[in-house]
Structure 1
Amino acid sequence: MDRTRIEAARARIADHARVTPVTRLDLGGFDVEVKLEQLQHTGSFKVRGAFETLLSGPVPAAGIVAASGGNHGAAVGYAAAALGHPAHVFVPEVAGPAKIALIERSGAACHVVPGLYADALDAARAHEAETGAMQIHAYDGPGTVAGQGTCFAEWEEQGLDADTVLVAVGGGGLIAGALAWFGGRRRVVAVEPETACALNAALAAGAPVDVAVSGIAANALGARRIGSICFDLARGAGAGLVSVTVPDAAIADARDLLWREARQWVEPAGACALAALISGAYSPAPGERVAVLVCGANPEPDPVAGASA
């Protein structure tokens, strides 16, 4: 995966993905650049990878299948409907009613599976084998990673002014796109919940390993094992990648801060990267310019309940 692949993806999906806005936040001592990717179609960056996968090769008559914690499924359903393909999405129970309803509204056939994301992935693979449908992996496919990388290409064109970019990590598709696009030109900080930290665990072990998954962001960042594309890019990034984890309380505080200071109400996963700054999990050096990607806007269930202001 490299910049050339991402540039090609950007050209392909240009008519299908929104250009999301950039703003700034004052965190009481330092200024942070923030890209509001949660304002993308279906409320997350995931449509970028879905459209890139569908537009970069033939789609079988059996259509599309995907496993998802929620946001990827909604994006696949949206992209499939826009391009005229049938889609089946398998989601775990932990996805929650709001995300399940979002997938159903996209026009995809939504199948709820007991367990976690890994169980939904097993069911999606069985459907793929039975029907010949094309699997769009939530994070470990070349089209998915290239599509997510377009977010960072777009951000630089918008004038990204940062030494360091903080990105939330689930299965690794988004941060893989960041690592591939930046190629060491900027430091990338991978931020994961303490209770769902597949990349952090893989880097410590020297190889992808299974992790236990729980916590308030599990329905979006709950991959049991990091994707191989992400791990290979992360292992090769050296000092260009920093991996940190944050507690649920910090994620909730970051979500409330985004509402209080920017009137942006996001799901816990969407606030995870910002949580690293407000909790001290990542402390910028004096003069270091920092940027944060806000990535998901599908909270469960009430868009105002729980806000601190």
Structure 2
Amino acid sequence: MGWPTEIECAQERINGHVRRTPVTKLDGFGLPVPVEVKLEHMQHTGTFKARGAFNTLLAQEVPEGGIVAASGGNHGAAVAYAASKLGYPAKIFVPEMAGSSKIALIERSGAELQVVPGAYADALAAARAHEADTGAMQVHAYDAPLTVAGQGTCMSEWESQGLDADTVLIAVGGGGLIAGAMAWLNGRRKIVAVEPQTSCALNAALSVGALVDVDVSGIAANSLGAKRIGQICFDLAVEQRIDCRLVPDDAIREAQIALWQQARILVEPAGATALAALMSAAYVPEAGEKVAVLICGANIAPDPMT
């Protein structure tokens, strides 16, 4: 089966398990025209990642060892939530940089949680060791076909809601969300990848033509801080010649605060990263170009102004 069929199958599997998130238009934000946005931060556990988690768990038999996942926070919360709803035991490994709100979200799910010193790569190594020891099923955060197909349902759903845009801006960490979008759209609309300047695994890989490790830091690192882009995302991005733009932390923070002050949309830095590319002119649409933004994550402590 090709990607569109895989994504259609994923949509059938996860119906009833995930929310159909709303779409709206934002006026203002220093932009000359309204921007269409999909509010995927209103998904279960605050991100799109519940889609990939449910698709993975529903598409295959879960072993006696249960489920294991490594995460910067959001993926772990989604896997823990899906496992709880489907009645499976789960162990989630997160790095210390995950942050208190994401750690608390996982703890509330009832999953076993282990906080690992270091970054996401360290949590992934610990999760792989647990997988080898117990036979647990690994649910990868972004570089697995079932995960990507699940995330692709976000874009297929958006089109079914009447997406009216020539170009869609999507924030990138490990690449699962944008890979799903690329897999579904297959060039029918332009996709712009947006990364923080200090967490830019896709841009680095595209620059040299191969997967490379990058140093990770900045305000969005606990969501977008993959040291290496996923192979699936990279292959699709090369094939489709994806446009990749970088934004500084200050622009992400400005977009995050603007979403709260002007629209009362409360998101984490990753959720504001794609909009930051428009507000900071890292991406400037051509005359008449209709642009949409995917808002993808809500897991922060309350009110970013405090």
Distance in 2 separating the partners of 1:280 and 1:116: 30
Partner of 1:262 in structure 2?
263
Partner of 1:200 in structure 2?
203
Distance in 2 separating the partners of 1:130 and 1:276: 43
Partner of 1:29 in structure 2?
32
Partner of 2:19 in structure 1?
18
2:152 is equivalent to residue 149 of structure 1: yes
Q: Which amino acid aligns with 1:21?
A: P
TM-score between the two structures when normalised by the length of structure 2: 0.98
SS at 2:218 equivalent: coil
SS at 2:299 equivalent: coil
Instruction: Give per-residue Cα distances to partners, 1:36-88, cap 9 Å, x unaligned.
Output: 00000000000000000001111101110000000000000000000010000
Distance in 2 separating the partners of 1:172 and 1:256: 25
Distance in 2 separating the partners of 1:189 and 1:61: 41
Partner of 2:272 in structure 1?
271
Deviation, structure 1 residue 107? 1.2
Deviation, structure 1 residue 289? 0.2
SS at 1:103 equivalent: helix
Partner of 1:225 in structure 2?
228
How does 1:285-300 map onto structure 2 within 5 Å?
Answer: 285-299=286-300
Partner of 2:305 in structure 1?
306
Deviation, structure 1 residue 114? 0.2
Partner of 1:67 in structure 2?
70
156, 160, 163: which one aligns with 2:163: 160
2:102 is equivalent to residue 99 of structure 1: yes
TM-score between the two structures when normalised by the length of structure 1: 0.97
Distance in 1 separating the partners of 2:198 and 2:304: 24
Give aligned pairs, total.
Answer: 303
Q: Which amino acid aligns with 2:233?
A: C
Deviating runs (4+, > 4 A) in structure 1? none
Instruction: Give per-residue Cα distances to partners, 1:120-158, cap 9 Å, x unaligned.
Output: 000000000000000000000111100000000000000
Deviation, structure 1 residue 261? 1.9
Q: Which runs of 5+ in 1 are unaligned?
A: none
CA contact (8 A) 2:205 2:211 kept: yes
Q: Which amino acid aligns with 1:306?
A: M
Instruction: Give per-residue Cα distances to partners, 1:252-291, cap 9 Å, x unaligned.
Output: 0111111122111100001000000000010000000000
Deviation, structure 1 residue 2? 1.1
164, 183, 187: which one aligns with 1:184: 187
Distance in 2 separating the partners of 1:5 and 1:109: 31
Cα-Cα RMSD: 0.8
Deviation, structure 1 residue 98? 1.0
How does 1:230-269 map onto structure 2 within 5 Å?
Answer: 230-238=233-241, 241-269=242-270
Partner of 1:137 in structure 2?
140
Give identity over the alignment, percent: 68
Deviation, structure 1 residue 305? 3.9
Q: Which amino acid aligns with 1:291?
A: A
Q: Which runs of 5+ in 2 are unaligned?
A: none
SS at 1:62 equivalent: coil
Partner of 1:38 in structure 2?
41
